[in-house]
Amino acid sequence: MQLNYLYLIVAIGFEVVATSALKQTDGFTRLWPSLLAMGGYALAFYFLSIPLRTMPVGVVYAIWSGAGIVLITAIGWALFRQALDWPAVIGIALIMAGVLVINLFSRTVVH
């Protein structure tokens, strides 16, 4: 089970890299960011498929998408200077709380 989380973390990392590159593709008109985005998503989905062998799809997807949202929002704020208002900050905090509740308290996730 621990290995599933490692694969999930790797999948999240590739998804975050791919989404960050997607911003730079300019509608897939720039070659290198486009290749990075496509390759990153391909690897993200591959590593995401591994935990799905033994973990519920809803739980895996909630963790993957929730962590991705939080990390991409942080990257957007830090690297792309995208402003966050208080409702956005509160929403991101609620997403983080949801991922933590699933991981810490759900019986669906086998520990």
Q: What is the pLDDT of residues 11-47, one digit of tens each?
A: 999 999 999 999 899 999 999 999 999 999 999 999 9
pLDDT at 12: 98
pLDDT at 110: 59
Distance CA 80, CA 49 (A): 30
Query: In 10 A of CB 98, how many CB atoms?
Result: 13
- Asked whether residue 111 is domain-assigned, the answer is no
Q: What is the 3-state secondary structure (H, E, C) of 80-107?
A: CCCCCCHHHHHHHHHHHHHHHHHHHHCC
**Placement of tokens 């966050």 in the chain:** 84
**pTM (two decimals):** 0.88
- Asked whether residue 14 is domain-assigned, the answer is yes
Tally the domains of the chain: 1
60 — pLDDT class (breaks 50, 70, 90): very high
Distance CA 1, CA 78 (A): 33
- Asked whether residue 110 is domain-assigned, the answer is no
Name the residue type at position 26: D
pLDDT at position 109 over 80: no
- Domain with 17, as residue range(s), is 2-105
